A and B are shown apart, each in its own frame.
Chain A
Amino acid sequence: MERPAQMSGSCIWIVDDNKAHRRVIRRALLKAGLEHRCVEAASMAEARAVLLASEPPTLPLALIIIDLNLSDGRGTNLVEQLRLSDRLRDTPILMLSTSGLETDRDAAIAAGADAFLTKASDLEQLSSELAETCVRVMRSRP
């Protein structure tokens, strides 16, 4: 497993309305060697309030992980809004969903996400997929 060391000193945002899922994702990131500070948001509104505020977040953003189905709307809408912001245009965004449906994958990529991952229920599998995808996404977005 390749360790994306260049991301230390920055933070990873996790936008997911399920608290337990956020915990599992944090653990998977840790297992994947992504030892960043994690910032959590439980809704699109919460994420927008900070990410799109006139005052940028204190820590630089390494990655944003957004769940596809959020309590206040589709995660793809949030991706589209973030991509309109100059500050976040090039920030790596990864979408996650419990479904592996082709239509969901296509919608995520069309909205501007860099990658789409199914929430593999196996912790080992999820962390290795996260590690691989994050390295790839970080490299493609300097």
Chain B
Amino acid sequence: MKSGQPGDSKRGFASRPIEAQLLRLLGIILRSPTSATAIVSLSGCVIFLFALRLKQTEVALSVLLVLTFALGALFVGLLMVRALAQAGSTITELSRRVAASPTGEFDAAEVQELSAPTGFAQLDDLLLSARRSGAHLLEMLAAMGGELQDVIDRYELLATNIAASVVIRDTAGKVLFCSPYTEVLTGCTLEEIQDFDGDFFESIVLESDRDRYRRAIAISTVGEDIVVRYQIRHQSGIQLWIETHLVPVLNSDGEIISVMGVSIDVTSSVSYQQRIEEQNRDLNDFTYMVSHDLKAPIFTIKGMASMLLEDLPHLEADSRESLEHIVEAANRLERMIKSVIEYSSLSTKEFREDAVPLDSVLADVLQDLSEQIRESNAQVRIEQQLPVVLGESLRLYQVFINLIGNAIKYGSSDRTPEITIAVRHHSSELVIIDVRDNGIGIPRDKQSGVFRPYQRAHNGTVEGSGIGLASVKKIVERLGGSVGLVSTEGRGTVLSVALRLAPPDTLGDSGPARLEQREA
């Protein structure tokens, strides 16, 4: 307030140089509240002394009064200046520390010591709240800094220790980031990879796989995810199978800014796969051998026995029975071989995935089992409409003819066989179908083996191939489902199959082809 006054007087006397100089000096003096008050007090003292000498008591008293006010004002002014300076330095220090402490290494308690109370309640309140806000801000920063550090630590841990090479390239193919494992995968240093002129990986991909690799890169740069398998030549000279998942990285506008490739060494799984394929080929060869070479002697045995039976019409009953036993044994052997071939073909043959209405599959099954149903006097009931599932109608037919055939075959002799087919659980993707019977059930200790080939729960008592339920399991699992069993000996069995539902848009396929297929 006081600093404004000299400016005003300066404008009025500016034309007179000496007076102007004096006024400027006065202005400088008056600008400082302390010196201004001091001058006012000094002048007051002088006037007071003059007044005393001149015995002007009234004047002297007035001056003394003014002087006391001036000194009081001086004292208050000094205190305020000090308090403001303190508050200012506290706030400066707070902001300095806030700015300097992004990692949270700041002790919030220190803020408390930054300033002593000023003695002015409002200013102290202001300072206190500033201090609290500052401390709170610092705590938040410390927490954020800590979290950030955790994220950085985790990222570093991941990038350095993951057994996968992560390479991020811009759309022009320049390497932006390359994880340390890339060195292990390729045998080259990160510098060599990053400084390589062109696509480093393409340079180590085997010639035979290079086109496939290039196609995958091209596809990823137009925004498609793609997984590609190819062989590379490691720096050491050995060849490795690599699987790379290429993921385009988009900015907020949806533009591709880079492509991230995550590569892993799949050499062992590829060799495992090759071994499995080899074993499959062996199995196919074995099946072929069985179907040709083991059947040939049966053809001879049965053919010769039949010829003898024809040629010797007057053979003794005993001898005829012996020949018939030979024919029967050969028949049995033939059925067993057929079942071996059928079962092994379930592992190797490709399965189609059509939309198959189970209602019509069940209708075929019940029709083909009608004779057994009639003979056993069984009551077969389908509780509700069955859904359309994914699979091959012939295979699904095999599943249900085995399940329902078993239910009839293992019926209890002291009650009417009751067989119920019901939908138990129906989700958007899976359906579980129960085939429930009131038959003889399966002993607890035999239950775990019923889905394994040639493990028969009632060996010798009922005629069977020994692969019925094993085939059911194999087929259902190859169709992406699963099988289940709940059985109580003497009470009955529930066999369940979970099958994948056909998507709604594929309904109605492949229905009519089913019967012909089965008969073919």
Task: Show the binding face of A for B, using Cβ within 8 Å.
Answer: 18, 20-21, 23-24, 27, 68-69, 97-101, 119, 121-124, 126
Contacts and interface: CB of A to CB of B under 8 A. Distances in A.
Interface in B279-296: 288, 291-293, 295-296
A122 B291 contact: no
Interface in B303-326: 303-304, 306-307, 310
Contact of B306 (A21, A97, A101, A122): A122
B292 A69 contact: yes
B170 interface: no
Contact of A98 (B295, B306, B310, B330): B295
A43 to B, nearest CB: 16
Contacts of A99: 288, 291-292, 295
A99 B307 CA distance: 22
Contact of B292 (A20, A27, A97): A97
18 contacts: A18-B296, A20-B300, A20-B304, A21-B303, A24-B304, A27-B303, A27-B307, A98-B292, A98-B295, A98-B299, A101-B291, A119-B295, A121-B295, A121-B298, A121-B302, A121-B330, A121-B331, A123-B307
Contacts of B307: 23-24, 27, 123
B181 to A, nearest CB: 46
B288 A21 contact: no
A88 B331 CA distance: 38
B392 interface: no
Nearest to B290: A99
Contacts of A124: 306
A97 B293 CA distance: 10
Contacts of B293: 98
A23 B298 CA distance: 14
B300 A18 contact: yes
5 nearest A-B pairs in the assembled complex, by CB-CB distance:
A24-B303, A98-B295, A123-B306, A20-B300, A99-B291
Contacts of B330: 121
Interface residues of B, number: 18
A99 B302 CA distance: 16
Given A99-B288, A121-B330, 8 more contacts: A27-B303, A98-B292, A98-B293, A98-B295, A99-B292, A121-B303, A121-B334, A126-B303
A24 B298 CA distance: 12
Nearest to B295: A98
A8 to B, nearest CB: 23
A128 B191 CA distance: 79
Task: Please report whether the interface of chain B is mostly helix, strand, loop or mixed according to DSSP.
Answer: helix
Contacts of B302: 121-123
Nearest to A97: B292
Contacts of A100: 291
A16 to B, nearest CB: 10
A23 B303 contact: yes
Contacts of B331: 121
B300 to A, nearest CB: 4
A14 B296 CA distance: 16
Contacts of A20: 300, 303-304
A101 B288 contact: yes
A72 to B, nearest CB: 16
B352 to A, nearest CB: 15
B299 A21 contact: yes
Contacts of A126: 303
A21 B296 contact: yes
Nearest to B303: A24
Interface in B257-303: 288, 291-293, 295-296, 298-300, 302-303
Q: For A23, A69, A100, A123, which residue has the most chain B Cβ atoms within 10 angstroms? A: A123
B182 to A, nearest CB: 46
A42 B502 CA distance: 54
Q: For B292, B293, B334, which residue has the most chain A Cβ atoms within 10 angstroms? A: B292
Given A27-B307, A122-B306, A123-B306, A21 B292 contact: no
B159 to A, nearest CB: 52
Nearest to A28: B303
A17 B507 CA distance: 52
A106 B145 CA distance: 73
Q: For A24, A68, A97, which residue has the most chain B Cβ atoms within 10 angstroms? A: A24
Contacts of A101: 288, 291
Contacts of B304: 20, 23-24
A100 B296 CA distance: 12
Interface in B73-107: none
Contacts of B288: 99, 101
A126 B303 CA distance: 10
Contact of B299 (A27, A68, A119): A119
Contacts of B291: 98-101
B381 to A, nearest CB: 37
B300 A98 contact: no
A122 B327 CA distance: 9
Interface string B472-515: 00000000000000000000000000000000000000000000
Interface string B105-123: 0000000000000000000
Nearest to B520: A102
Contacts of A24: 299-300, 303-304, 307
Nearest to B296: A98
Contacts of B303: 20-21, 23-24, 27, 121, 123, 126
Interface in B379-425: none
B299 A121 contact: yes
A20 B88 CA distance: 117
A123 B307 CA distance: 8
A101 B341 CA distance: 10
Contacts of A121: 295, 298-299, 302-303, 330-331, 334
A124 B304 CA distance: 12
A15 to B, nearest CB: 15
B127 to A, nearest CB: 94
A99 B296 CA distance: 9
